[in-house]
């Protein structure tokens, strides 16, 4: 393997190798998963399409267990950026005084609770005494579980039990085998579960759709020390969001080309295509809802007002006791920053996506 790598490097023209060497390395963690499938297209497309390279950066994108860990890694300066739950950004600031700032809210809150259609659980109140599967006990979804059951009059600390069920097929198996009686997951995961088992129904709090969720964030330290990097990496994600909305199937084609291990297995080609497109489609709906929260209708951005509403929501349902100024939950001078990261030729990006000549 070492010989193959050295041979490959030697075959690269000197000018191209020099350009690659000149790229600044960036570490980006994606929280709440152990496997990067098509659900994470805003963070996977920029490398595949060369958007970050155009900005002068080479990104290492990798999964970590949950948003709480992402906050810890940002605080320790072990990573540059994290894709993490909006609730965890709020908790980091309000409870732990960790200055994490939202750069882009990629998706509005699309989480829900999957239960068996023919089972006894028809509402949050029916979750009393039940086990609820969740990707990780350090994920931002824990706060949602607590608010969901507390709103129905239950005590989340004594009336329900949360169990880490991970990702992939494992959560659905746990539900089918009655190890858990409900699954609390994000929208694309829920679509995946329903594609494998149509005998599921999804319970949601209607208020969630108006709240910001999965967001691209960094520390105030990184913002202060590397503002050009923060802008360039964020602009690459903004371009990816425009690209994906213009041609979801091209997202699927690029995902399978550049990340072949993420292609669905144990199903025929037609089913694999349908399953991945279903995930992208539901996430694009969440993306559009997130964009509506942004100031001036920008595609990529974050709303201090919306983060403030989420903070109020967490306080109302006992998840949070202290509050911070919502403006501190997003990058300082946010409107100027959002204007910069959305400053590119959207029409050209859309044309590239529709042509899908890769």
In the chain the domains, ranked by start, together with CATH numbers, are 23-108+211-266+287-355 (3.40.190.10), 112-203 (3.40.190.10)
Residue 328: the pLDDT is 98
For residues 349 and 347, give the distance between their C-alpha atoms in angstroms, rounded to a whole number: 5
How confident is the model at residue 323, as a pLDDT? Answer: 97
Q: Which pLDDT value is given to residue 10?
A: 32
Q: At 336, list the tokens.
A: 């100027």
**What pLDDT is recorded for position 53?**
98
pLDDT of residue 21: 65
Q: What is the pLDDT of residue 317?
A: 84
Rounded to two decimals, the pTM is: 0.85
Q: What is the pLDDT of residue 20?
A: 58
Which sign, positive or negative, has the C-alpha torsion 120, 121, 126, 130? positive
* pLDDT block averages, 10 residues each, the chain of length 358: 30 43 94 92 98 98 93 98 96 96 96 95 96 86 88 94 92 96 92 91 89 97 98 99 98 97 93 95 94 91 97 90 97 98 98 97
Written as one string, the DSSP assignment of 231-272 is: HHHHHHHHHHHHHHHH-HHHHHHHHHHH-GGGS--SS-HHHH
Give the rounded distance of the alpha carbon of 92 from its chain centre.
Answer: 17
Give the list of residues 6+ apart from residue 337 with CB closer than 8 angstroms, or none.
103, 231, 234, 331
pLDDT in tens, 132-165: 999 888 777 888 899 899 999 999 999 999 999 9
Q: Exposed, middle or buried: residue 133 (CB in 10 Å: 0-12, 13-18, 19+)?
A: buried
């Amino acid at each position: 393997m070492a010989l193959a790598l050295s041979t490959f490097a030697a075959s690269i023209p000197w000018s191209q190798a020099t350009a690659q060497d000149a790229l600044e390395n960036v570490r980006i963690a994606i929280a709440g998963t152990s496997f990067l499938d098509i659900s994470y297209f805003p963070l996977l497309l920029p490398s595949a399409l060369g958007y970050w390279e155009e900005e002068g950066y080479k990104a290492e994108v990798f999964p970590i267990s949950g948003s709480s860990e992402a906050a810890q890694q940002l605080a320790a300066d072990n990573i540059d950026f994290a894709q993490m739950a909006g609730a965890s950004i709020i908790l980091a600031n309000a409870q732990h005084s960790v200055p994490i700032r939202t750069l882009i809210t990629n998706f509005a809150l699309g989480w829900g609770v999957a239960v068996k259609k023919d089972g006894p659980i028809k509402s949050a109140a029916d979750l009393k005494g039940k086990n609820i599967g969740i990707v990780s006990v350090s994920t931002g979804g824990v706060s949602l579980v607590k608010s969901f059951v507390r709103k129905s009059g239950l005590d989340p600390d004594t009336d329900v039990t949360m169990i880490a069920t991970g990702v992939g097929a494992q959560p659905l198996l746990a539900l089918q085998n009655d190890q858990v009686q409900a699954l609390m997951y994000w929208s694309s995961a829920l679509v995946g579960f329903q594609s494998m088992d149509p005998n599921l129904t999804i319970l949601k709090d209607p208020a969630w759709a108006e709240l910001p969720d999965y967001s691209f964030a960094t520390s105030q330290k990184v913002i202060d020390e590397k503002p050009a990097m923060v802008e360039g990496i964020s602009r690459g994600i903004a371009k990816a969001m425009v690209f994906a909305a213009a041609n979801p199937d091209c997202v699927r084609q690029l995902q399978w080309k550049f990340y072949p291990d993420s292609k669905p297995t144990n199903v025929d080609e037609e089913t694999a295509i349908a399953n991945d497109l279903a995930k992208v489609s539901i996430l694009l709906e969440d993306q559009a809802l997130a964009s509506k929260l942004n100031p001036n209708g920008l595609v990529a951005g974050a709303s201090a007002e919306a983060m403030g509403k989420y903070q109020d929501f967490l306080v109302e349902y006992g998840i949070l006791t202290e509050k911070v100024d919502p403006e501190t939950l997003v990058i300082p001078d946010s409107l100027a920053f959002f204007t910069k990261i959305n400053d590119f030729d959207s029409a050209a990006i859309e044309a590239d996506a529709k042509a899908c000549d890769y």
